[in-house]
Amino acid sequence: MLGPPAWAAVAELARAPAQTCVLTDFDGTLAPIVGDPADANALPGALDVLHRLARRFGTVAVVSGRPAAFLVPRLALGEGRSPLRAYGSYGAERAGPDGHVTAPERAAHEAEAIEAAARELEAGLPAGVEVERKRWSVALHWRNAPAERERAEHLATATAGRHGLSPRPARMAVELVLPAAPDKGSAVASLAAGARAACFLGDDSGDLPAFAALDELHDRTAAYTSRIAVASDESPPDLLRAADVVLDGPATALAFLAAIADRAAAR
């Protein structure tokens, strides 16, 4: 299931667990993509592997575009299992091992822009396209109506321009985000600072800033870093080109994380 590049990464990441940072996305990486985003859950066994890693490795966290409050129950944070953490909304929100979520306050005009854009999207939706409200963005999903992609993208771009938001591509979706909204790169840079080795697993264009943060860490400190793409039929080519390791879907991503945990336990 894991090829030679993956096993080479496992060996490096398990070499010094206390000085290693293991970071991963959620949707499409730990959790299979589903028709309704609200129904997403990690694969069976994924939480056991994550908490096992977090008890032994220096830093283990999930960095996702999802709100942190969405991630807390799905990662079993607050149950005393491990020091696992979650960064939601591309790093704008944080949930600690105790499950407590912290986030900066939005200005009134930012909240108004998000809500106004959401209402405008809902008023012009093609059939089968759905709006997902988030604290720092609003997402437009066409997974259940793939033929409407062009119309949905046009609607999103026009709406973003009218409300001072920026379109951010995602899998079968686009997010309209506040101009100053963070990306995953800032979260990864903060979490991996000082690590001897670090990796990030992701499946979409929104994970490219995380890959870039690992590149910067390697260039600055010579730390071992591994950019890991979790591939599917929907994988953006730029993500696959940027990856050091390509894994075939969430089940293989889980096998990769389990292999790191097993190798570290055997040392």
- CA–CA distance, 220 with 31 (Å, rounded to integer): 32
Predicted local confidence at residue 52, as pLDDT: 98
User: What are residue 125's phi and psi, to 5 degrees?
Assistant: -65, 130
pLDDT at residue 36 above 90? no
Q: What beta strand segments (E) does 97-217 contain?
A: 101-102, 130-133, 137-141, 166-170, 173-177, 197-202
pLDDT tens digits for 172-222? 899 999 887 889 999 999 999 999 999 999 999 999 999 999 999 999 999
Residues 182, 87: Cα–Cα separation, whole Å: 11
In angstroms, the Cα distances linking 200 to 122, 222, 257 are 34, 16, 11
- Mean pLDDT, residues 241-252 taken together: 97
Q: What is the pLDDT of residues 63-113, one digit of tens each?
A: 999 999 999 999 999 999 999 999 999 999 999 999 999 988 877 888 899
Weakest mean pLDDT among 18-22, 32-36, 196-200: 32-36
Share of the chain above pLDDT 90, in %: 82
What CATH class does 108-177 carry? alpha beta
pTM (2 d.p.): 0.90
In angstroms, rounded to a whole number, what is the distance separating the alpha carbons of residues 62 and 75?
Answer: 9
Reported as a pLDDT band with limits 50, 70 and 90, residue 38 is confident
* CATH code of the domain made up of 4-104+182-265: 3.40.50.1000
Average pLDDT over residues 117-136: 91
Please tell me which residue in 25, 203, 204, 207 is annotated as part of the active site. 25
> Taking the domains of the chain in order of start, what are their residue ranges?
4-104+182-265, 108-177
**Contact present, 205 and 170 (Cβ < 8 Å):** yes
Burial of 233 (0-12, 13-18, 19+ CB in 10 A): exposed
The whole-number pLDDT of residue 169 equals 87
Active site (annotated) includes residue 25: yes
